[in-house]
A and B are shown apart, each in its own frame.
Chain A
């Protein structure tokens, strides 16, 4: 005893639709592979929470934000976003070429952003959280940094400049 409607029960998918699904799956696989290679094989990292701080009582290196030389060519840069003065602290930084700079960011008040032009450094600045990224500056020039999070009426004034000079 066979079912008379067996042929109608099979799912019909148009060949064009099948091909579109195949292309979509291949694209997802290629994108995932590219991101995996960049992250794990080449070492590209996204900023992660480094530590927690009290935004109302920034102590230690945050009392005097700016550049610190750890050894020749190796620096730490502490940057604070401040919505009271609508500026980054510090606003201007100068380093020699081929320097390795680890940038730490946090906020005194509200959420900001920190994007260093022409590099892969792009971080959220959150009150109470420190984020960090390290970059090697192999080319001399101006690297402006800007707030990428609309933080209030003074948002447009939140910018600074990192200058890489020849040795």
Chain B
């Protein structure tokens, strides 16, 4: 019983820094790539 509580406590304190870093890079890549395509769309002028 005591061992189980200890394991749960360790899991709560675990901070996955590497995963967070990869996810931050992923989000930034999405924002930059999508933003650049959006700017290209705007720069090419309106289609009606």
Contacts and interface: CB of A to CB of B under 8 A. Distances in A.
B42 A31 contact: no
Contacts of B31: 27
B47 A44 contact: yes
B47 A121 contact: yes
**Interface residue SS majority, chain B:** helix
A138 interface: yes
B41 interface: yes
Interface size class of B (residues with CB under 8 A): 10 to 19
Interface residues of A, number: 20
Nearest to B27: A23
A135 interface: yes
Interface of A: 16, 20, 23, 27, 31, 34, 38, 42-45, 118-121, 133-136, 138
17 contacts: A16-B16, A16-B20, A27-B30, A27-B31, A38-B38, A42-B46, A43-B46, A43-B48, A45-B47, A45-B48, A119-B45, A120-B41, A121-B47, A133-B47, A135-B47, A136-B45, A138-B45
